[in-house]
Amino acid sequence: MVKKKNASIKKISIIVLLVTGVFFVWYVLSDRYTPYTDQARIHGLITPVSPRVSGFITEIEVKLHSQVKAGDVLFKLDQRPFQIAVEIAEADIDNTTQSISASAASVKSSAGKLGVAMAQLDRAQRNWDRVQKVMKENKGALSESDQDQSETALLEATEQVASAEASLERAQQSLGESGPDNPKIRKAVQNLEKAMLDLEFSTVLAPTDGAIESFEVDLGYYASAGQPITTLISNSDVWIQANMKENNLSMMHIDDEVEFALDIAPGKIFKGKVRSLGFGVATDQTNKGGLPSVSEKKGWLQDPQRFPVIISSNDAIVRDLYRLGGQVDVVVYTGDSYILNSIASMKIRLIAMMSYVR
């Protein structure tokens, strides 16, 4: 009787050891060929919506969690100050063109004065030449007073020409280039363009398709340029970040098939692919350069280092179910092993069913 009992215990022990060995081998192989993690979250692009000009909000076209398309009107600021600025800039262009016309008239006037001064210089020069010729032929023919008067007239005419030339140069510099290349006109046009841009920016548009979050403003709120007034969760790109153990990556490649379960859809399994594998994470020694931080489960045994694996899905139904920050269970199929893949497939489906009672 004792021998039979010992034999039964021995048999049970052998069976337990065999089962334990099988589970150990399965655990080691599945960790590499069909890695699984429940440390996965949904991530996406977040765009803070900020006005490019400051002003009081006069119209609000969206609500919290509104779905919007790129180009949809979200808010309107008080446009009156910007419309006034446009009108001022338009009037400035008119004033500038009138001023340039006046400058052109000044150039013509200065040019005319220069012509008169040069004519007077020519007459004074000829008169001085005659005086010199007469004095050379007959020194006593003219008095010293006549000589001094002729010389003074020549000097004054020379100075008048120099003054007229300077006045013409100043008038030409003030006028600048004619037409649209004139610097005054260019400045006035640029001021008008800026005023029209500011008027355009007073209407805040959706930069991309998405949903409105963090909406806490009302009519009369003063929106400051560059300061976010709401947040837009973009639909342009959403992905799953699965934090896999370091030894899970040994057999993993880009485009490997993935199955995952979302807590928002209990009992359902969705398919995706590995988009990319992380090359580094932040640690106490490497905490610079904006490396991703991966949270770790703390237990009495040290958890292996984890790296982000990015997973994407082209399933339109899945994209409608995505919620940023939502929890995901993920299994990756890195090979064609029928047994390991079948066990992993049953495991992820059992986990998906357990989502009903989480």
The string of pLDDT tens digits covering residues 35-44 is 999 999 999 8
Q: How many CB atoms lie within 10 A of CB 209?
A: 16
Is residue 29 a part of any domain in this protein? no
260 exposure class (CB count in 10 Å sphere: 0-12, 13-18, 19+)? buried
- Whether residues 56 and 102 share a domain: the answer is no
pLDDT, residue 278, reads 84
User: What CATH number does residue 57 fall under?
Assistant: 2.40.50.100
Paired tokens of 355: 């989502």
Is residue 175 a part of any domain in this protein? yes
- Whether residues 243 and 353 share a domain: the answer is yes
pLDDT, residue 258, reads 95
b/e for 145-155, b at 16 or more Cβ within 10 A?
eeeeebeebbe
Is residue 100 a part of any domain in this protein? yes
- Whether residues 105 and 165 share a domain: the answer is yes
Q: Where are the alpha helices (DSSP H) in the chain?
A: 2-33, 80-137, 144-175, 183-201, 316-321, 338-354
Q: How many CB atoms lie within 10 A of CB 295?
A: 9
The string of pLDDT tens digits covering residues 51-81 is 999 999 999 999 988 999 988 999 999 999 9
- Whether residues 267 and 350 share a domain: the answer is yes
| Domain coverage including residue 223 | 51-77+202-227
The string of pLDDT tens digits covering residues 114-152 is 666 776 777 778 777 776 776 666 665 556 666 667 777
- Whether residues 107 and 193 share a domain: the answer is yes
Helix (H) / strand (E) containing 37? strand 36-49
The single-letter code of the amino acid at 236 is: S
Identify the domain boundary among 198, 213, 247: 198
Is residue 267 a part of any domain in this protein? yes
d(CA 157, CA 150): 11
User: What CATH number does residue 332 fall under?
Assistant: 2.40.30.170
- Whether residues 71 and 207 share a domain: the answer is yes
Question: Which is more confidently placed, 30 or 246?
Answer: 246
Whether 207 and 150 have beta carbons less than 8 Å apart is answered as: no
**Among residues 310, 316, 315, which one has the least CA distance to residue 275?**
310
pTM, rounded to two decimals? 0.65
- Whether residues 187 and 297 share a domain: the answer is no
- Whether residues 260 and 326 share a domain: the answer is yes
Residue-by-residue DSSP string for 287-298: --S-PPP-----
Residue with tokens 């005319």: 112
Is residue 247 a part of any domain in this protein? yes
- Whether residues 111 and 156 share a domain: the answer is yes
CA 16 from centroid of its chain's CA atoms: 61
- Whether residues 121 and 217 share a domain: the answer is no
d(CA 308, CA 280): 8
- Whether residues 350 and 244 share a domain: the answer is yes
pLDDT, residue 74, reads 94
CA 286 from centroid of its chain's CA atoms: 28
Is residue 5 a part of any domain in this protein? no
Is residue 11 a part of any domain in this protein? no
CA distances from 336 to 236, 249, 250, 253 (A): 33, 16, 16, 13
- Whether residues 127 and 272 share a domain: the answer is no
Is residue 2 a part of any domain in this protein? no
Please give the average per-residue pLDDT across 283-288, as a whole number: 60
Into how many domains does the chain fold?
3
